[in-house]
Amino acid sequence: MGCPYLSSQSLQPPLSCPHKPSTAFKPLYATLNCPNSTQPWLKSVNLNGVVARPGTENDYAAVRVAIEKIIPNESYDDGSIGPVLLRLAWHASGTYDQKTQTGGSNGSTMRYPLEAQDEANRGLEHARKFLEPIKFQFPWITYADLWTLAGVVALKFCGGPSAPWSPGRKDYEDALNVPPNGRLPDGALGAQHFRDIFYRMGFNDQEIVALCGAHNMGRCHPDRSGWDGPWVPNPTTFSNTYFKLLLNEDWHKKELGNGLFQFMDEDEEIMMLPIEMTLLEDKSFRPWVEVYAKDKELFFKDFAAAFGKLIELGVRRDKNGIAMVNYINKTKI
């Protein structure tokens, strides 16, 4: 007998279903975990235009291909979900605290309300939803591995370098070890904030500037960050254009209707955040901006290394390559 709460019209059980996920994060493939479900339609389902069928376990090459297929999306932003997938991997990893060895990409803790509702993560629910067909197709891959792999795939698909990636991350079973809010960068602040955030994770000034180059892709949204617009004219292609524009445009400060400030080019077609202008003002940051504006190959090399380091933060592996839990307020074993 199938679960009486489920129908073939939806992959999402109603809130009254006793088999629904126990957390606020409810994956679209949730019915796969229903202990009474025998629905034949679960063997193949169309999710967001992607026909998903179970994939071979540990076939990460197949996962990469599946991710590539969903990146072009004319109904989202500039026709690509690549930028928001890159942002998901970045934010899922950027909570790491080197001193306490908590946070980071292990655990996929953004599945839980505390992290999902962090103001810095607004809009990332779209990225997580876009990846649900992949999770349905390859249920053996953890969210923590899927989110970081999606960022690596998106980076390469959009013209960027190949960043190193290895599987083995866990999905935490509860919210006990979700890191506190406030560990991600605030675009309204300055150079010292940059260093506070990135030094906490173990990065140096060169790596800070390299990682800022992620803003070669994507745009800000008023209903998410509060800022508005892309950093570069072609926000779905990874390049070193961000650094060239940062150096060479005539930027002017503009106050938005919500009270936030951002910097606009002369035609007000592209923007920079207040914190990014400190890359020009700081005597340690600016030389790297100048170098990356001139040398695309070096920037790609350095970004790949820094991004690979970022998505590995918080992944303490055992002898089999499997990540161990990063306990909050508890002795780690």
Q: Whole-angstrom Cα distance, residue 131 to residue 85? A: 9
Report the phi/psi class of residue 6: left, alpha or beta, with left for phi > 0 and alpha for psi in -120 to 50. beta
Is 219 within the bounds of a domain? Answer: yes
Q: Can 231 be counted among the known catalytic residues?
A: yes
Confidence class for position 39, pLDDT limits 50, 70, 90: very low
DSSP character at residue 329:
S
Where residue 211 sits, what CATH number does that domain have? 1.10.420.10
Catalytic residue among 90, 91, 126, 165: 91
pLDDT (tens digit, 9 = 90+) per residue, 133-177? 999 999 999 999 999 999 999 999 999 999 999 999 999 999 999
| Cβ 204 vs Cβ 100: under 8 Å | no
Is 20 within the bounds of a domain? Answer: no
Cα 250 to Cα 40, 265, 270: the distances in Å are 60, 6, 11
Is 139 within the bounds of a domain? Answer: no
pLDDT of the residue at 84: 98
Confidence class for position 201, pLDDT limits 50, 70, 90: very high
pLDDT of the residue at 53: 58
pLDDT of the residue at 187: 96
Amino acid, res. 250 = D
- Three-state DSSP class for residue 124: helix
pLDDT of the residue at 331: 43
Burial class (CB in 10 A: 0-12, 13-18, 19+), 324: middle
Q: Which residues pair with 72 in a beta bridge?
A: 80
Confidence class for position 56, pLDDT limits 50, 70, 90: confident
pLDDT of the residue at 32: 36
Mean pLDDT across the chain: 87
Is 213 within the bounds of a domain? Answer: yes
**Mean pLDDT to the nearest integer, 306-321:** 96
pLDDT of the residue at 51: 55
**Most confidently modeled of 10-14, 44-48, 320-324?**
320-324
Given a cut of 70, is residue 214 above it in pLDDT? yes
Burial class (CB in 10 A: 0-12, 13-18, 19+), 56: exposed
pLDDT of the residue at 297: 98
Given a cut of 90, is residue 130 above it in pLDDT? yes
**Mean pLDDT to the nearest integer, 2-14:** 33
pLDDT of the residue at 68: 98
**Mean pLDDT to the nearest integer, 87-97:** 98
Q: Whole-angstrom Cα distance, residue 158 to residue 215? A: 13
Is 265 within the bounds of a domain? Answer: yes
Q: Whole-angstrom Cα distance, residue 247 to residue 286? A: 9
Confidence class for position 330, pLDDT limits 50, 70, 90: low
Q: Whole-angstrom Cα distance, residue 54 to residue 43? A: 7
Q: Can 227 be counted among the known catalytic residues?
A: no
Domain range for residue 228? 191-310
Domain count, the chain: 1
Confidence class for position 129, pLDDT limits 50, 70, 90: very high
Given a cut of 50, is residue 34 above it in pLDDT? no
Amino acid, res. 49 = G
Is 302 within the bounds of a domain? Answer: yes
pLDDT of the residue at 29: 40
Is 202 within the bounds of a domain? Answer: yes
Q: Which of 14-23, 117-126, 307-316 has the lowest mean pLDDT?
A: 14-23
Complete DSSP assignment for 49-107 = TEEE-PPPTT-HHHHHHHHHHHSB-TTSTTTBSHHHHHHHHHHHHTT-BTTTTB-SSTB
Q: Whole-angstrom Cα distance, residue 109 to residue 107? A: 5
pLDDT of the residue at 57: 84
Percent of the chain with pLDDT over 90: 81
**Mean pLDDT to the nearest integer, 277-295:** 98
Given a cut of 90, is residue 1 above it in pLDDT? no
Burial class (CB in 10 A: 0-12, 13-18, 19+), 135: buried
Given a cut of 80, is residue 179 above it in pLDDT? yes
Is 144 within the bounds of a domain? Answer: no
Catalytic residue among 147, 227, 231, 288: 231
**Mean pLDDT to the nearest integer, 37-65:** 62
